[in-house]
Amino acid sequence: MNQRAGLASGIQGRHVLLGLFAFFGVVFLVNGIFVYYALGTFGGGDTSDPYRKGLNYNETLAEAARQDAQGWRAELIYGAKTGQLALSVTDKEGQPVSGLHLIATVGRPATDWEDLGVNFREAPAGTYEASLHLAPGQWVVQLQSQDLSRAGDPVYRLKQRIFVPEKP
């Protein structure tokens, strides 16, 4: 009966205080869970060792300029029905570039859980193919030639997104 008398007299200061603590306690708990899962699923970086790569940014720009000076054009196509990733490379005059030894990493844009290492083989001159089956969605293809220039840099690099549809 004493409990009823307490509630019948109305909301008091301690009721408001307990309500505020309960409300903000639930908010902090839910935010903590969200932060835990956000940090556990994606670290935020898309390259390994970004600090060191940033220190060498001028060299990266020079390498990109050397690649642009070659004038090579590349077309990357994924055939979802056949499971073939094909790259055709042509030079400034439109002639196929052959004899490259290409390796690639194919992965999702936001995680490295599904990353695949891919070795290309040359089919007809200037066309390089690899067999792999990708699930539907966005994929990022990062490839480079293993043929090294005199400076020790890869001859060619490419980073491109591809989209694999639900039904080919």
pLDDT digits (tens, 9 = 90+) for 124-139: 888 999 999 999 999 9
- Kindly write down the DSSP assignment for every residue of 136-157, as one continuous string: SEEEEEEEEES-B-TTS-BS-E
- As a whole number of angstroms, the distance between CA 113 and CA 109 comes to 10
Residues in the chain: 168
The better pLDDT of the pair 3, 65 is held by: 65
- As a whole number of angstroms, the distance between CA 128 and CA 88 comes to 6
Question: For 84-139, what is each residue's pLDDT tens digit?
Answer: 999 999 988 989 988 888 889 999 988 878 889 998 998 888 899 999 999 999 99
| The overall pTM is greater than 0.75 | no
Query: Which residues, including other chains, have CB under 8 Å from residue 90's CB and lie 6 or more apart?
Result: 72, 73, 74, 96, 97, 126
Question: For 24-36, what is each residue's pLDDT tens digit?
Answer: 999 999 999 999 9
